[in-house]
A and B are shown apart, each in its own frame.
Chain A
Amino acid sequence: GENVEQHPSTLSVQEGDSAVIKCTYSDSASNYFPWYKQELGKRPQLIIDIRSNVGEKKDQRIAVTLNKTAKHFSLHITETQPEDSAVYFCAVLSGSARQLTFGSGTQLTVLP
């Protein structure tokens, strides 16, 4: 089955700095890569996703890049704000299983 690794597990940045979270996956047939944000005590919510025919996607302060050859993708958050503090999960949709496999999560803390 699909194996998704996410790093780092915790990340602290100063307000206004950038944050980068990386994920690697094992199944070269995977074709969809969403990122979810989970605030404390809340549900995971989709913040951005990228499909296998695209190398980069941006939405205001967040962006995702995909390197299909190397089988890794990253979440970039610029100009971080305290409300960005949350656990971020990457996920991968395997071509055959049609199920999402989640990374282990990154606890992002933005220090004011």
Chain B
Amino acid sequence: DTAVSQTPKYLVTQMGNDKSIKCEQNLGHDTMYWYKQDSKKFLKIMFSYNNKELIINETVPNRFSPKSPDKAHLNLHINSLELGDSAVYFCASSPIHSVYNEQFFGPGTRLTVL
């Protein structure tokens, strides 16, 4: 009955590899997000997405791309991984009809690039 789930929980990989993180929500929400939390705990929005609009934070490298097979899923693909990509990545979702954008977070994926 988990509201927002992510897999894997931990991901260790070599520089230059391509990897994906999966996210699923069973809340019936229309909007999903990806956040990056670095070692200093800063939480930064990377993408927000619903079935009509993708908003990309301009600071996100184009090696990162979100892919949504359906409304309940938003996966994150990362190409040519770099050391600086090491962080915890959180998926989140919110109901589009909510003007106030309450967001529910997934458990996070700790990515370590060696």
Contacts and interface: CB of A to CB of B under 8 A. Distances in A.
Physical interaction between A and B: yes
Given A42-B107, A43-B107, A49 B102 contact: yes
A93 B100 contact: yes
B48 to A, nearest CB: 6
Given A42-B107, A43-B90, A43-B107, A102 B43 contact: yes
B83 to A, nearest CB: 22
State which size class the interface on B falls in.
20 to 34
B45 interface: yes
A32 B105 contact: no
Interface string A85-112: 0010100010001111110110100000
Interface of B is mostly: loop
A105 B45 contact: no
Given A32-B100, A51-B100, A44 B105 contact: yes
Contacts of A105: 41-43
Interface string B80-114: 00000000001000000001111111111000000
21 contacts: A32-B100, A32-B101, A34-B102, A34-B103, A38-B41, A43-B90, A43-B106, A44-B43, A44-B105, A45-B105, A46-B102, A49-B102, A51-B100, A93-B101, A98-B48, A98-B101, A99-B33, A100-B45, A100-B101, A102-B42, A102-B44
